[in-house]
Amino acid sequence: MNRIPALFACLLACALLAACASQPIQRKDGSHSVHSFSIKDLAKGDVDNVIEIHQQEVIATLKTLTLKLYRRNPGEWRKSGFAGADEAAAALFRPLSHWHLSPQKDLGWETALRAAWREDYTADRVKALMGGLLIMHMAAFNHQTEFYLLTEVDAQRLYNAARNTEAVVWKLATARNLRGDLLLLSNGADENGVANLSFEREFGKLIGIQDTLARIIEDKSNRAIRFGVVNVATMAFLPI
Residue 166 pLDDT exceeds 50: yes
How many percent of the chain have pLDDT more than 90?
Answer: 69
User: If DSSP states are collapsed to H, E and C, what string results for 175-223?
Assistant: CECCCCCECCCCCEECCCCCEECHHHHHHHHHHHHHHHHHHHHHHHHCC
Q: What's residue 2's pLDDT?
A: 53
pLDDT at 222: 85
Q: Given pLDDT bands bounded at 50, 70 and 90, which one contains residue 30?
A: low
Whole-number pLDDT of residue 211: 98
Taking the complete model, does pTM exceed 0.85, yes or no? no
Give me the pLDDT at residue 17, please.
Answer: 46
Question: pLDDT tens-digit profile of 193-236?
Answer: 677 899 999 999 999 999 999 999 999 888 899 999 998 888 89
Give the number of other Cβ atoms within 10 Å of residue 113's Cβ: 24
Is 104's pLDDT higher than 80? yes
Report d(CA 82, CA 119) in Å as an integer. 23
**C-beta atoms surrounding 27 within 10 Å:** 9
Q: Are 51 and 213 spatial neighbours (Cβ–Cβ below 8 Å)?
A: yes
Q: Which long-range contacts (CB under 8 A, 24 or more apart) does 103-108 make?
A: 104/131, 104/135, 105/135, 105/138, 105/139, 105/143, 107/131, 107/135
What SS3 state is found at 231? strand
Q: Delimit the domains of the chain by residue range.
A: 43-221
Give the mean model confidence (pLDDT) for residues 136-144.
97
pLDDT digits (tens, 9 = 90+) for 141-161: 999 999 987 688 999 999 999
Q: How far is Cα of residue 7 from the mean position of the Cα atoms in its chain?
A: 38
* Of 110, 122, 114, the residue nearest 161 (C-alpha): 110
Dist CA 60 CA 64 (whole Å): 6
Residue scoring higher pLDDT (10 or 230): 230
Above 80 in pLDDT, residue 55? yes
Own/partner long-range contacts of 105-112 (Cβ < 8 Å, ≥24 apart): 105/135, 105/138, 105/139, 105/143, 107/131, 107/135, 109/133, 109/135, 109/136, 109/139, 109/240, 110/136, 110/237
| pLDDT at site 12 | 47
Give pLDDT, residue 86. 98
